[in-house]
Amino acid sequence: MASEENKRWDLGGAQDAKRLLRESKAHKGESLWTDARRRLRRNRAAFWCLVFLFVFALFSFLAPLLPIPSPKALDTSAGTALEPAWPWTTPHLAGEWDPDTFPNDADVAPGVLPSRAYGNLLNDGWRHQTVLRFHQESADIPPEPLLDWVEGVAGRRARVGSLRPDKEGGYLRYLCLPLDRDDAPRVDFEPTGVSGELLVWRFPLAEAPPGRPAFGVVYDLNLPEGLPPLERVGVEARTRRIELFLTPAERPAGVSGMAYRATLPRHIEGSAALVLVNGVGYPVEGGPPLPAAAAKLDLVLAPAQELRGIEHEGLVDRLRAAAPPPPGATLEGATHENGYWELGAIDNWMLRARVALFGSWQTGNWMGTDEKGRDLFARIVWGSRTSILVALAAGACSLLIGVIYGAFSGLMGGRIDNVMMRIVDILYSVPFIFVVIFLITIVNEYRTELEDVYGIDREVIFFIVIGAIYWLTMARVVRGQVLSLKNSEFIEAARIMGASTPRILFGHIVPNVLSVVIVYLTLTIPAVMLFEAFLSFLGLGIEPPKVSWGLLANDGTKAINPLKIYWWLVVFPAAAMGSTLLALNILGDGLRDALDPKLRGKD
């Protein structure tokens, strides 16, 4: 009877209490961070936003690896922007690209553009090839002997391109050496243990042979005694590729060289006697004699397959030095075509990995194209790289400079605070748009010099400007917070406990400001993305053919007109940007809640 009575009045309170007790027991003793992580995971929206942003960032980082068209591959054959072609409607290339059956040899030439349905390495944006130009007097000369000659020297399959009249009354015959599957990095070629340094033996200039000095990369090499000391030369940040120049005489048959190229760092003068690549050594013709001890190096010459890739300039050198081409044709020159802009080492590596993984297969225009025929999906993915980079730069600036500057200023107070804040005011009052215009003008004027010597181009200017602006507000916000915190009793208590100023600053004040900082950061990042878009809109930011979300938005607004609405040009970039900004905001909110210890152990 009594138990029934109890049951009737039991509204589950006891259960609730038990659960609460259990949970609170489980959460006692968690560090703030564990707790924050747990609570963030509990906050569904924020958690999924975090996942979304993570996936998004991963996607944009892996852009070269994805089998998507090149973001700068033009195709004006349609004459208009093409609607999204959903995967199930577009015929995509089935199977592999077979070079022997691939049609349209005649079309494969610079500026000759693709057939859309068959995405492949040769004709779509993923063009990564060396194009050789031969001058010939008449149109009747068959291309086959030329092809044989090139293949013989290059040690790889070449393709015949188109024949066009040139200005001097002759003809230009194009031949292409495309990057193919074999050029993908192999296991034994993988640069494991790369030190990031260039090792050269340096000799006085007088002893150097005429012509180009050669040098190479050495990866983890045990050197025998007696060799002149290796000089480690830091590779400048701008030196992305290291070029290996091999003259034909000592080039082992079949070795087509290395894909790493670089301009010689300016401070290296002289010449090397020996080039070492991956522990494989090549003596340099005309170089200083090898020291006797070099014999102990046990030099191995690599078999042909181990060193593959298009070695563009080296190839031209080799062709020039080789037996003369078949009669009637002379080698005019060569260009290296790349479906992208200049990519860094990691991106190049990913590009090769992509070839190894997907071959010539690539997606169709799932999100349509813009009016120049560039794939929108590819442009969104590649554009997100710029936006994310800009956001990261601004975030890092406001975090590092803004927080430290603001906290220091607020804590010091008095005259120091006054001076520091006036500096911020002055920077605030600078009209940055004018500064940007001014700087961009200068960069354009001294373009080559600035880019070559100092590595300053538009993007660098862009980052400098963002770095200069985006910590200002953060500094003010943090200073205000610190001012109000500074006189709070626990700071006084810390001081009285004998804590030093840096300790008070970083141990007590900064953590208390952090929630505000995080919320402000989540506001800063969208603002920066918009600023980037604005500058790109003015033509001061990212330059075509490079792409950013700002440019895409700009293109989208242009594409809306009364005659035809190219909705995909607006919808997809806007969706990408909007979802990212929304996710950032929700995540910021969630983080603020998660980092508040007062909500600890609650949901």
Partner 1 sequence: MALLEVKDLRVRFETHHGTVRAVDGVSFDLEEGETLGLVGESGSGKSVTNLALMGLIPSPPGVVEAESVRFKERDLLALPPEELRKLRGNRIAMIFQDPMTSLNPLLTIGRQLTEVLELHKRVSRREARRAAVAGLDDVGIPSPERRLKQYPHELSGGMRQRVMIAMALLCKPDILIADEPTTALDVTIQAQILELMRDLQERHGTAIILVTHDLGVVAGMSNRVNVMYAGRLVESAPAAPLFARPLHPYTAGLLASVPTLDGDPEAQLFSIPGQPPDLAALGEGCAFQPRCDFAVERCATQRPTLDPPLAGEPRLSACFESARLREGFSPAAREEKA
State the residues that interact with partner 1 by CB under 8 A: 28-30, 32, 413-414, 488-490, 492-500, 503, 507-508, 511-512, 597-598, 600
Amino acid of residue 386: T
SS3 content of the chain, % helix, strand, coil (to 5): 50, 10, 40
CB of 406 to partner 1, least distance (A): 18
147 in Cβ contact with 175 (< 8 Å): yes
User: Under DSSP, is residue 560 helix (H, G, I), strand (E, B) or coil?
Assistant: strand
Q: Which tokens belong to 529?
A: 């993305």
**Residue (233 or 494) nearer to partner 1, CB:** 494
For residue 514, the minimal CB distance to partner 1 (Å) is: 8
Element (H, E) at 165: strand 159-165
Closer residue to partner 1 in complex, CB, 396/514: 514
30 vs 105, beta carbon nearer partner 1: 30
Least distance to partner 1, CB of residue 521, Å: 18
Beta strands in 218-292 (DSSP E): 231-234, 274-277, 280-283
Q: Tell me the closest approach of the beta carbon of residue 501 to partner 1, in angstroms.
A: 9
Residue 376 C-beta: closest distance to partner 1, Å: 46
Neighbours of 488 (CB within 10 A): 12
Half-sphere exposure of 57 (CA within 13 A, CB side): 14
User: Phi, psi (5° rounding) for residue 135?
Assistant: -95, 130
Nearest-CA neighbor of 351 among 524, 550, 125?
Answer: 125
Question: Which whole-number Å values give the CA distances from 450 to 266, 267, 394, 462, in the listed order?
Answer: 14, 17, 24, 15
What CA–CA distance (Å, rounded) separates 261 from 83?
Answer: 40
Nearest CA among 99, 59, 75 for reference residue 375: 75
Q: What six digits make up the tokens of 155?
A: 């040690």
Q: Which is nearer to partner 1, 44 or 598 (CB)?
A: 598
- Minimum Å gap between C-beta 36 and partner 1 is 11
Cα-based distances in Å from 170 to 136, 164, 320, 334, 342: 6, 9, 21, 17, 33
Q: Which is nearer to partner 1, 290 or 412 (CB)?
A: 412
Nearer to partner 1, 32 or 346 (CB): 32
Rounded CA-CA distance 59/44 in Å is 22
Cβ atoms of 580 and 46 within 8 Å: the answer is: no
Tracing tokens 């980092």 back to the chain, one arrives at 595
At its nearest, how many Å lie between partner 1 and the CB of residue 11? Answer: 28
In Å, how far are 23, 56, 348, 594 from 28, measured between CA atoms? 9, 35, 50, 16
Distance CA 290, CA 274 (A): 7
For residues 34 and 80, which CB has a smaller minimum distance to partner 1 in the complex? 34
Q: Which CB, 54 or 490, lies closer to partner 1?
A: 490
Give the shortest CB-418-to-partner 1 separation in angstroms.
13
Comparing CB distances to partner 1, the nearer of 5 and 489 is 489
CB 137 within 8 A of CB 328: yes
Residue 40 CB, shortest distance to partner 1, in Å, is 17
Residue among 17 and 416 whose Cβ is closer to partner 1: 416
Helix axes 510-538, 458-469, angle to 10 degrees: 140
Q: Which is nearer to partner 1, 500 or 557 (CB)?
A: 500
Q: In terms of DSSP bridges, do strands 231-234 and 159-165 run parallel, antiparallel, or are they unpaired?
A: unpaired
Torsion-angle region of residue 210: left (phi > 0), alpha (psi -120 to 50) or beta?
beta
Report in angstroms how near the CB of residue 522 gets to partner 1 at its nearest.
Answer: 20
* Rounded Cα–Cα distance for residues 119 and 361 (Å): 6
Closer residue to partner 1, CB minimum distance, 267 or 415: 415
Of 165 and 502, nearer to partner 1 (C-beta) is 502
Secondary structure of residue 288 in the 3-state scheme = coil
391 or 491: whose CB is closer to partner 1? 491
* Smallest gap from residue 497 Cβ to partner 1 (A): 4
Smallest separation, CB 31 to partner 1 (Å): 8
d(CA 324, CA 135) in angstroms, rounded, equals 13
Give least dist CB 417 to partner 1, A: 12
Any residues with CB less than 8 A from the CB of 19 and at least 6 apart, and which?
Answer: none
Contact 364, 190 (CB under 8 A): no
Number of neighbours of residue 253 by Cβ within 10 angstroms: 7
Least gap, CB of 487 to partner 1 (angstroms): 10
Closest approach of Cβ 485 to partner 1, in Å? 10
Q: Dig out the tokens for 521 from the structure.
A: 């950061």
Rank residues 218 and 504 by Cβ distance to partner 1 and give the closer one: 504
